[in-house]
A = this chain, B = another copy of it.
Amino acid sequence: MAVHDFFLHLLVILVTARVFAELATRLGSPSVIGELLAGVVLGPSLLGWLEPVQAIRLLAEIGIILLLFEVGLETDLVRLARTGVKSALLASGGFVFPFLLGYGVAVYLFDLPMLVSLFIGGTLTATSIGITVRVLADLGRQREREGQIVLGAAVLDDVLGVVLLALLYEFSTGGGINFGNAGKVTLFIAAFFVLAPIAAKLMSLIIQHFDKASEIPGMIPTMIVALVLFFAWLAHALGAPELLGGFAAGLALSRRFFLPLGAAMHGNADFAHRVEQQMKPIVHLFTPIFFVMVGLSMNLRAIAWSSPFIWAFSGTLLAAAVAGKMAGALLVREPGPVRAALGLAMVPRGEVGLIFAELGRSTGILDATVYAGMVIVIALTTLAPPFALKWFYRRYGSRIAVYSLQQEGGIGR
């Protein structure tokens, strides 16, 4: 690929992604939907201008591990510990029910193979932290009790989702499902999840040390990106997906991450702030490329729209996706309207769901039609909840507020 062609490709992707993202938010839906659409428009589905060539695909891969790095970076372990039990219940319910429903629908209704069905179930598990945060913030509920519970649950089911992804990845690259091995892999991943952030934290302390002494600018962007790439590479070498490494590195560098030993934490706040400030532009540059690539990889023309399969498939799975999260909310002991609000807020899938679908596609497990169906389901789960929640809070908002006050013994937040 010639340099100027590459530049043109990249700039068209960046500009189109931004324009569609802006339009999407003006219309009340999340920006990620706009970026997806940009890919659909530029790709074989509509204009056919761009193909997912390798150089751009590699940039998209950087984008996705950097996105998971940012998710890790914004994970607040302290807050997670505080909302505690309710978040954990909501997360487990919101993880298990959609997974079982999605898997069951795929296997029993549509007769799909087991591994395909596992991917479909997995795609429905992870709530999108980013979109949920945005929706709750728009409603002004982000700092309320139910907002805190939902945020904690979204973080937890992202973690569960990534672990499941690693398991499925092992199955798909290992050639099949081996439940005897699954326990070992889970243990392995759990060990990575505990050890990698600690290792990343220690490395970041080394970077911090040299950053103070260095006269050459650019220590943070180069070394933190290298750190993220290293853990992505390590995760892959250990048989987990690359993005697990990105998440672990982000967790290690988050402001509220604490080492078990509590060692050498002084003076850290400033460094964490600088890491955030300098890494954000890089993350923001690369991530849209990933979502455009997801859109580019979908060929909507190759799908048999006249066959009832795609309609029945995405319709049923959408129902499973919504019902699963609502069922998860039943595990939490709260009055009805609060439960409904919690369930609705958990509906948006997003980044992690798309990553699931993309991994399924690139390993050849999901065919073009199933892949397109999954992306459509993910898109719809993020499109509807903002409107549904707004309507719900207009109607039941006052009752939820009263419950919240009673719960807190009449003391305002």
Which residues of A does B touch, CB under 8 Å? Answer: 1, 3-4, 6-8, 10-11, 14-15, 17-18, 21-22, 25, 31, 54-55, 58, 61-62, 65, 210, 214-223, 225-226, 229-230, 232-233, 236-237, 242, 277-285, 287-288
Residues of B within 8 A of A61 (CB): 3, 6-7
A273 to chain B, nearest CB (A): 13
Residues of B within 8 A of A18 (CB): 216, 219, 222-223, 226
Given contacts A218-B281, A222-B284, A282-B285, contact A58 B17 (CB under 8 A): no
A278 — nearest CB in chain B belongs to which residue? B281
A230 — nearest CB in chain B belongs to which residue? B11
A1 to chain B, nearest CB (A): 7
Q: What are 25 contact pairs spanning A and B, CB under 8 A?
A: A3-B236, A4-B233, A4-B236, A6-B58, A7-B61, A7-B62, A7-B229, A7-B236, A10-B226, A10-B229, A11-B229, A14-B226, A14-B229, A15-B226, A18-B226, A25-B214, A25-B216, A217-B280, A218-B283, A218-B284, A221-B281, A221-B285, A222-B288, A277-B277, A282-B285
Contact between B216 and A22 (Cβ–Cβ < 8 Å)? Answer: yes
Residues of B within 8 A of A219 (CB): 18
Report the copy number of this chain in the oligomer.
2
Contact between B281 and A7 (Cβ–Cβ < 8 Å)? Answer: no
Contact between A221 and B284 (Cβ–Cβ < 8 Å)? Answer: yes
A278 to chain B, nearest CB (A): 4
Contact between B233 and A22 (Cβ–Cβ < 8 Å)? Answer: no
Residue among A1, A221, A281 with the highest chain B CB neighbour number at 10 A? A281
Contact between A281 and B279 (Cβ–Cβ < 8 Å)? Answer: yes
Residues of B within 8 A of A281 (CB): 218, 220-221, 278-279, 281-282
A15 — nearest CB in chain B belongs to which residue? B226
A288 — nearest CB in chain B belongs to which residue? B222
A16 to chain B, nearest CB (A): 10
Given contacts A25-B215, A54-B55, A217-B280, contact A285 B222 (CB under 8 A): yes
Given known contacts A3-B58, A14-B225, A218-B280, what 6 new A-B pairs fall within 8 Å (CB)? Answer: A4-B236, A8-B233, A17-B222, A21-B216, A217-B280, A218-B284
Instruction: A216 to B23: give the CA distance in the assembly, Å.
Output: 11
A67 to chain B, nearest CB (A): 11
Residues of B within 8 A of A21 (CB): 216
Residues of B within 8 A of A14 (CB): 222-223, 225-226, 229
A223 — nearest CB in chain B belongs to which residue? B18
Neighbour of A15 across the interface among B4, B58, B216, B223, CB < 8 A: B223
Residues of B within 8 A of A15 (CB): 223, 226
Instruction: A225 to B281: give the CA distance in the assembly, Å.
Output: 11
Nearest 10 A/B pairs, CB to CB:
A218-B284, A11-B229, A221-B281, A278-B281, A14-B226, A221-B285, A4-B236, A11-B226, A7-B229, A31-B216
Instruction: A15 to B221: give the CA distance in the assembly, Å.
Output: 11
Instruction: A82 to B278: give the CA distance in the assembly, Å.
Output: 34
Instruction: A61 to B233: give the CA distance in the assembly, Å.
Output: 24
Contact between B288 and A232 (Cβ–Cβ < 8 Å)? Answer: no
Residues of B within 8 A of A284 (CB): 217-218, 221-222
Instruction: A65 to B221: give the CA distance in the assembly, Å.
Output: 18
A231 to chain B, nearest CB (A): 10
Given contacts A226-B11, A230-B11, A233-B8, contact A214 B22 (CB under 8 A): yes
Residues of B within 8 A of A278 (CB): 280-281
Contact between A1 and B216 (Cβ–Cβ < 8 Å)? Answer: no
Residues of B within 8 A of A222 (CB): 14, 17-18, 284-285, 288
Residues of B within 8 A of A218 (CB): 280-281, 283-285, 287-288
